Amino acid sequence: MRIDWWTLGFQTINVLVLVWLLSRFLFKPVAKIMADRQQAANALIQDASVARDTAERDRKHAADEVAALDTLRLQRLGEVSAEAERLRASLLATARTEADALRASAEQDVEIMRKNASRVEAARATEFALDVASRLLARFPSHTLVEGFITPLADAVRALPDEDRLQLGRGAEPLHLIVSRPLSEDELKQCEVALAAASGHELRLQTEVDPKLIAGLELVAPHVIVRNSLRHDLDTLKADLLLDDDERDA
């Protein structure tokens, strides 16, 4: 086979020119395009990675916020439950205190009513005794409603402290002698004599009629009162009955 070196040279030159042309006008643009696309792909991958990281951070942040909200909700529920329990306990304590106060008040009211009833009964008993005494004494001679009380009244005056006894009748006004009925002159004289002997000096007496005494006498001075009447005895008995009832309650 015969080789034509000129033809081979021209063909080599053609190949070199073709390679140069392809390298200049085809390979470089294609390589540049591929490089640009690779760069764009890398940028997209990087952006996707950044977006993924951002999304992961956002997801984690959202999860942390949800967990924090759950914790806060549980804390709030615990606080509300504790407050409700405290309020319930407070209401129960208040209700119990009010109930105890109401019960104590009711017991006190009942006790007051019972004591008032006792006093009413004592007052009724006293009034009944007064009525009975009045009816019984009405059958006695009228002089017994006075004469039998003169000496005890004088004894009561004699038993006064010396200072009080000596001051009786020393004022300008006469002493008041309270009687259950008008006195006769003889009865008044007996009273004056007996009281003068008991006090140690003369006494000026002014009589006043009070049928409520039923029987007896009462001597009233500015600084002292000497009682010797059936009404006073019944009032004393009534007070003693009420005092005994109060002492039993205590």
pLDDT digit string (tens) for 187-236?
A: 889 999 999 999 888 888 899 998 888 788 999 988 888 998 878 877 77
Q: What integer pLDDT is reported at residue 12 of this predicted model? A: 78
Number of domains in the chain: 2
- Please provide the size of the chain in residues: 250
Q: What integer pLDDT is reported at residue 242 of this predicted model? A: 63
Task: Confirm if 214 and 133 have CB atoms less than 8 A apart.
Answer: yes
> Of 78, 220, 203, which Cα lies nearest the Cα of 229?
220
> Of 217, 219, 207, which Cα lies nearest the Cα of 169?
219
CATH of the domain at 218: 3.30.2320
- For residues 73 and 145, state if they share a domain: no
- For residues 201 and 161, state if they share a domain: yes
Q: What integer pLDDT is reported at residue 132 of this predicted model? A: 62
- For residues 133 and 203, state if they share a domain: no
Determine the Cα–Cα distance for residues 69 and 46; give it in Å rounded to an integer. 34
> 131: domain range?
65-139
Low-confidence residues of the chain: pLDDT under 50: 1
Of 104, 139, 174, the domain-final residue? 139
Q: What integer pLDDT is reported at residue 158 of this predicted model? A: 92
Q: What integer pLDDT is reported at residue 219 of this predicted model? A: 92
- For residues 145 and 234, state if they share a domain: yes
At 57, the amino acid letter reads: R
- For residues 146 and 213, state if they share a domain: yes
Q: Is residue 95 part of a domain?
A: yes
Q: What integer pLDDT is reported at residue 166 of this predicted model? A: 85
Token output for 149: 């009380």
Token output for 15: 């190949």
| Percentage of the residues of the chain whose pLDDT score is greater than 70 | 71
